Amino acid sequence: MRLLLATELWDYINLIVVCFKLELKRYSLKINLCDRDLG
């Protein structure tokens, strides 16, 4: 039971990391687009 909980927690953390990386990539792309528009 405890091992299962740890595994679920790990999956949840991985999911958060993936979502965070996607948001970060989209955010940096947005910044690059803004820089290009200003430049």
Q: For residue 5, which amino acid is it? A: L
pLDDT of amino acid 6:
86
pLDDT of amino acid 38:
62
CA distance from start to end of the chain: 57
pLDDT of amino acid 18:
96
pLDDT of amino acid 1:
60
User: Structure pTM?
Assistant: 0.59
pLDDT of amino acid 16:
96
Digit-by-digit pLDDT tens for the chain (39 residues) are 677 788 899 999 999 999 999 999 999 988 887 777 665
Which residue do the tokens 């528009």 mark? 37
Question: What is the DSSP secondary-structure string of 1-39?
Answer: -HHHHHHHHHHHHHHHHHHHHHHHHHHHHHHHHHHHHH-
- Can you give the residue ranges of every domain in the chain? 1-39
